[in-house]
Amino acid sequence: MIRLFVREEQNIKIVNVEDLSVKCENPQNVLWIDIISPTQQELDWVSKEFEVEFPSKQETQEIEISSRYFEDEETITINAYFLITSEGETPYNETVTFILKKNHLITVRYKELKTFKELVKKLMLNPSAYEDGYYIFAGILEIRIDTDADTLEFITREISKLGKIVFTGIDITEEILESISFYEEMNMTIRENLIDKQRVLSSLLKSYKIPKEVREELRIMIKDVNSLIEYTTFNFERLDYLQNTFLGLLNIQQNQVIKIFTIMSVIFLPPTLIASIYGMNFQFMPELSWKYGYPFAILLMIISALIPLFIFKKKGWL
């Protein structure tokens, strides 16, 4: 699907391109070409109408800076990560391609993203704030960074809740360790996302094509991104601390179980020894013919079991 955002005097009109045999009218007035899950025919149409070349799907997935950001005399091509967080699914990074040429912004994506919907709303409510494609691109980045900050705040709140559960020491289960691993993975994904934006913003600030007003916005954005990256480091430290605390408490619980088994073994060892002695089949055993032999053996076993309990209690081991 191709959507054209065309400036008409003080307003912006959205045009859905359905007939690829028709040429674009007044391409100089087009600010933004938004391409969603395109076919090869749609990419060819945009490439022909606006004289741009698209990176291959494989190139958009590569992590080298030369693949994430490319600039020539007329065009800036950017492959940027967008964090996808769906309920019940592991968060992952989805690549979106941005091409800036003259006053046009061309975006290629394969997912419906909330960031773009919010930008469209702002664009239609205040069209005068977006002079060309560079301003629209800056607007998309600003919304995305705010969303990443909200996601990071959510992770921080969940880590705090997890910390309260761990420090109570009441419900120490494998689910806690799974939660810690999940938030570590989520924090790592968003950190990768932010580092990608940091590299892109750093490269954009070096470009002479960026308008002065947009450049100032990008300077503020890169400061925000740097602070968010530091916050992910703080989250990693908290998660490591929680994991070590959880493993320590789990070790204490396991030691308590082993301690109980050890005490029970020591308590029943003397009675077992006495029972074994009187269970031997020798011909001469005085207590066998004694009237009080059986009660004596029982009493002796009880006393031999209570003596270790008394010693453990006195030593403070119980």
**What integer pLDDT is reported at residue 296 of this predicted model?**
82
Single-letter code of the amino acid located at 70:
F
* Domain termination residue (choose one: 250, 272, 303): 250
8 A C-beta contact, residue 32 and residue 5: yes
70 in the same domain as 39: yes
DSSP 213-259: HHHHHHHHHHHHHHHHHHHHHHHHHHHHHHHHHHHHHHHHHHHHHHH
Asked if residue 207 and residue 83 are part of one domain, the reply reads yes
Token duo for residue 302: 């009880």
Pair (71, 140) in one structural domain: yes
Can you give the pLDDT at residue 67? 64
Kindly tell me the sign of the dihedral angle through the C-alpha atoms of 185, 187, 193, 196. Answer: negative
Q: Supply the Cα-derived Rg of the chain in whole angstroms.
A: 35
The total domain count for the chain is 2
Regarding whether 154 and 284 lie in a shared domain, the answer is: no
- CATH number of the domain to which 277 belongs: 1.20.58.340
C-alpha 216: how far from chain center: 30
Higher pLDDT, 289 or 110: 110
SS3 state of residue 34: strand
Residues 6+ apart with CB under 8 A from 230: none
One domain for residues 137 and 285: no
Residue 129 has pLDDT above 90, yes or no: no
Last residue of a domain, one of 250, 267, 301: 250
CATH number at residue 142: 3.30.460.20
Position 254 pLDDT exceeds 70 = yes
pLDDT surpassing 90 at residue 219:
yes
**Residue 223 in this model has a pLDDT that exceeds 90:** yes
Query: How many Å apart are CA 236 and CA 217, to the nearest integer?
Result: 29
DSSP state of 133: H
Domain residue limits at 197: 2-250
Statement to judge: residues 278 and 170 lie in one domain: no
Task: Based on the fold, state whether residues 180 and 73 are members of the same structural domain.
Answer: yes
Displacement of CA 293 from its chain's centroid (Å): 72
Global model pTM greater than 0.85: no
Whether residue 222 is found in the same domain as residue 264: no
| pLDDT (mean) for 300-309 | 85
| pLDDT of 57 above 80 | no
Of 227, 250, 273, the one marking the end of a domain is 250
How far CA 88 is from CA of 84, 91, 110, 148, 177, in Å, comes to: 12, 9, 20, 19, 18
Residue, of 253 and 302, whose pLDDT is higher: 302
Same domain, 132 and 166: yes
Query: Are residues 162 and 37 located together in one domain of the fold?
Result: yes
